[in-house]
Amino acid sequence: GAGVSQTPSNKVTEKGKYVELRCDPISGHTALYWYRQSLGQGPEFLIYFQGTGAADDSGLPNDRFFAVRPEGSVSTLKIQRTERGDSAVYLCASSFGSGETQYFGPGTRLLVL
Amino acid sequence: GQNIDQPTEMTATEGAIVQINCTYQTSGFNGLFWYQQHAGEAPTFLSYNVLDGLEEKGRFSSFLSRSKGYSYLLLKELQMKDSASYLCAVTHGGATNKLIFGTGTLLAVQP
């Protein structure tokens, strides 16, 4: 079956611009996670959705970052006024439920110039 | 606080056995995962341990000691395609079960 998909695969933007990153989880998975991975590091947790609600957004670095999952399936991570330090790979993962194995998408490589 | 330690790099020979260690100190624990990540690709699930002991799955095995905060991933009959980063991750627990990752161990398999 289809795995987690993310679009775009690569995004280059200029400092100060707004970007949206999309995640399409595995069908039937109610839990959805966003992580950010910098070069040579492990992924770092950003936000967790159970259904439509953001149950834990404690990993979002500041208020420029926001994520939604309006219908409990597709999620969009939104970054306002991008900074060069936002450059990283943004990974999305989904699981059947909280505590189940998380399956990752291929990620979006964001480069802020 | 949360702290997960694993070696940065390891080198092994094709056909050999390698053990990648992971130690952790976390405020909550609901289990430990190992993921494999090839360069430029997504992490892929390898194993999950929640109880003490050894879980074997083909060429890969994973061990957990909760009392010692210690796990290892054992790879047997190494193949060139096993060259990748191996990520140790602890599930934090609570309602979120977010993963707390180590920095990963970059394994190079040489002929």
Residues ≥6 apart with Cβ < 8 Å to A13: A19, A82, A110, A111, A112, A113
Residues B52, B48: Cα–Cα separation, whole Å:
11
- Closest listed residue to residue A80, CA positions, set A19, A15, A31, A5: A19
- Closest listed residue to residue A79, CA positions, set A31, A24, A26, A14: A14
Instruction: Tell me if A21 sits within 8 A of A90, measured CB to CB.
Output: yes
Q: Which tens digit of pLDDT belongs to each residue from B61-99? A: 999 999 999 999 999 999 999 999 999 999 877 777 899
B32 reaches A (C-beta below 8 A): no
What chain A residue is nearest to B29 in terms of C-alpha separation?
A99
B43 reaches A (C-beta below 8 A): yes
Residues A43, B100: Cα–Cα separation, whole Å:
8
pLDDT for position A95 = 94
How does DSSP assign B38-80, residue by residue? -TTS--EEEEEE-SSEEEEETTEEEEEETTTTEEEEEE-S--G
B78 reaches A (C-beta below 8 A): no
pLDDT for position A53 = 87
Is B30–A91 a contact, with Cβ atoms under 8 angstroms apart? no
Instruction: Tell me if B85 sits within 8 A of B104, measured CB to CB.
Output: yes
Token pair, residue B95, equals 């309602």
Instruction: Tell me if B49 sits within 8 A of B57, measured CB to CB.
Output: no
Is A44–B101 a contact, with Cβ atoms under 8 angstroms apart? yes
Rg value, chain B, Cα: 13
Mean pLDDT across chain A, nearest whole number? 95
Least confident of A80-94, B21-35, B55-69: B21-35
What chain B residue is nearest to A6 in terms of C-alpha separation?
B42
Mutation test of the interface with chain A: which of B45, B92, B99, choosing the one with the most A Cβ atoms within 10 A? B99
**Mean pLDDT across A57-63:** 95
Res. B43: pLDDT tops 70:
yes
- CB burial class (10 A; 0-12, 13-18, 19+) of residue A40? exposed
Mean pLDDT across chain B, nearest whole number? 93
Q: Which tens digit of pLDDT belongs to each residue from A5-48? A: 999 999 999 999 999 999 999 999 999 999 999 998 999 999 99
Residues B15, B17: Cα–Cα separation, whole Å:
7
Tell me the nearest-neighbour CA distance from B13 into chain A, angstroms. 23
pLDDT for position B1 = 64
Tell me the nearest-neighbour CA distance from A83 into chain B, angstroms. 22
pLDDT for position A98 = 80
Is A99–B91 a contact, with Cβ atoms under 8 angstroms apart? yes
Is B98–A48 a contact, with Cβ atoms under 8 angstroms apart? yes
pLDDT for position B28 = 77
Tell me the nearest-neighbour CA distance from A48 into chain B, angstroms. 7
- CB burial class (10 A; 0-12, 13-18, 19+) of residue B1? exposed
Residues ≥6 apart with Cβ < 8 Å to B103: A40, A41, A42, B6, B8
Res. A70: pLDDT tops 70:
yes
